[in-house]
Amino acid sequence: MSKALPKRSENYSEWYNEIVKRADLAENSAVRGCMVIKPYGFAIWEKMQRALDDMFKATGHQNAYFPLFVPKSFLEKEEEHAEGFAKECAVVTHYRLKSDGEGGLMVDPNAKLEEELIIRPTSETVIWNAYKGWIQSWRDLPILVNQWANVVRWEMRTRIFLRTAEFLWQEGHTAHATEQEAIEETETMLGVYADFAENWMALPVVQGIKSPAERFAGAVETYCIEALMQDGKALQSGTSHFLGQNFAKSFDVKFVNKENQLEYAWATSWGVSTRLMGALIMAHSDDNGLVLPPKLAPIQVVIVPIYKSPEDLAKISESVEPIVSELKALGISVKYDDSDNQRSGWKFAEYELRGVPVRLGLGMRDLENGTVEVARRDTLTKESRPLDGIASYISGLLDEIQASIYQRALKFREENTFNVDTWDEFKEQIEKGGFIMAHWDGTAETEEKIKEETKATIRCIPLNAIKEAGRCVYTGKESQGRVVFARAY
């Protein structure tokens, strides 16, 4: 039996890294700062993809694909955008290697590119260059496009799923005839992300707008969903950007409107990434390993036979076969683990570590009694249930577990959200973690000073914020409402 996981309360960072490793989700690659997503981890990401992709298509979006390489001149066209991403860009300067004469390879100095290429950190520029050829009239709009892709942002300090040099994501890029349409699109997609986070990931989120200092480079407004992790830190879990006409102007994307006048198109972009895998682990898991909401679990139910002889196993397998068929017919992913290379106790611990929501244990005594042991991963509780009707019982139980995991995360957030009115209170509370609701005078200077002194940032200005006159927690100047502060990943 492998040694116990580190405890969250003692070393949260090590606990996280060990879950990623021992639950077989991912590992560091030979390339510094990059990750190998292993089959079990990728199966979770695929479920996320499938659900999100269906939601995007239900709101009228189509998938496309754009190049991995972005000409440097494209990035330079939108000044704020270029400045925001410059420090994270990986640049391709040559297109060929040659032998160094000593058994190694060197860059061929004669193979220098005429224009350097950026490995995409995001795709606004290359996509808006394409849109120039797609858009002539208001009849060509809206364009509602998404792509599933990888991007590279050269991070110096990395952690699997949360911050890696290369990661997987989706990025939506839409073009509209009016400002109002584009704003509505931005808000619609934020709602899609919040729906996915809460109803699939069982992750309660705060929907809000970023402060100007935290805005996406090149955006007029950035909307976001923010989640609270179990160590009291925030995690930005999705963003949706209203880009105004900035990229249309940079790439000269004009269209003839209904009044027969030339006008620049209005833009949005929005994305979530494999960072959601990190959110899933950190929001729900415990000291025994991964806890997965059933909707995203690759295996929702595992059945483990408990036997002493091949004859016992044959009898148990005969009883399990119709249960497996019934569960599959209900759309439930199920695994019957009758492998003989490990004892049942080892299997119980392994599936617990991997976060399988429901485990069924079935032995000869259970068969004689017409019962089965049902273990829940979320509460670590067990009960004996009749074998008759077990499939429909499990179907309802999975819904109950999904709701229970969400409610537990919501309760945690509510218990760790604090209204703070003085600077001393703020400094004391930020050391304990959680969402701090505090007044802010609206200036970038104050925001920066708070960040310098406490490492706390404004996570968002909540969309449902109540107008409430007060005094800035730092300067004492007038404020119209509270914003969410937290330390963040």
pLDDT digits (tens, 9 = 90+) for 124-159: 999 999 999 999 999 999 999 999 999 999 988 889
Task: Mention the CATH class of domain 417-486.
Answer: alpha beta
Return d(Cα 308, Cα 340) in angstroms, integer.
11
Domain ranges of the chain: 12-68+122-284, 296-400, 417-486
417 three-class SS: strand
Taking phi first (over 0 means left), then psi (-120 to 50 degrees means alpha), and beta for anything else, what does residue 331 get?
left
Instruction: Please say whether the beta carbons of 148 and 25 come within 8 A.
Output: no
Cβ neighbors of 57 (< 8 A, separation 6 or more) are none
Return d(Cα 358, Cα 210) in angstroms, integer.
39
β-partners of residue 139 are none
Return d(Cα 46, Cα 42) in angstroms, integer.
6
The radius of gyration of the chain from alpha carbons, rounded to an integer in Å, stands at: 26
What digits encode the pLDDT tens for the residues 356-379? Answer: 999 999 999 999 999 999 999 999
- What six digits make up the tokens of 387? 């074998």
Q: If you ran DSSP here, which 8-state letter would residue 201 be given?
A: S
- What six digits make up the tokens of 362? 């079935």
Instruction: Please say whether the beta carbons of 296 and 201 come within 8 A.
Output: yes
> What is the pTM (predicted TM-score) of this model?
0.96
Residues 203, 206, 212, 216, Cα dihedral to 10°: 30
Task: Mention the CATH class of domain 296-400.
Answer: alpha beta
pLDDT tens per residue across all 489 residues of the chain? 467 899 999 999 999 999 999 999 999 999 999 999 999 999 999 999 999 999 999 999 999 999 999 999 999 998 888 888 999 999 999 999 999 999 999 999 999 999 999 999 999 999 999 999 999 999 999 999 999 999 999 988 889 999 999 999 999 999 999 999 999 999 999 999 999 999 999 999 999 999 999 999 999 999 999 999 999 999 999 999 999 999 999 999 999 999 999 999 999 999 999 999 999 999 999 999 999 999 999 999 999 999 999 999 999 999 999 999 999 999 999 999 999 999 999 999 999 999 999 999 999 999 999 999 999 999 999 999 999 999 999 999 999 999 999 999 999 999 999 999 999 999 999 999 999 999 999 999 999 999 999 999 999 999 998 889 999 999 999 999 999 999 999
Instruction: Please say whether the beta carbons of 174 and 267 come within 8 A.
Output: yes
Give phi and psi for 75, each to the nearest 5.
-60, -35
Largest CA distance in the chain: 83
Residues listed for the chain: 489
Cβ neighbors of 55 (< 8 A, separation 6 or more) are 192, 195, 196
Instruction: Please say whether the beta carbons of 441 and 451 come within 8 A.
Output: no
According to CATH, the topology of domain 12-68+122-284 is BirA Bifunctional Protein; domain 2 (3.30.930)
Report strand pairing: 69-71 vs 112-119.
antiparallel
How far from the centroid of its chain's Cα atoms is residue 137's Cα? 36
Q: If you ran DSSP here, which 8-state letter would residue 4 be given?
A: P
Please tell me the number of Cα atoms within 13 Å of 14 on its side-chain side: 7
Report how far apart the first and last C-alpha atoms of the chain are (Å, whole number). Answer: 33
406 three-class SS: helix
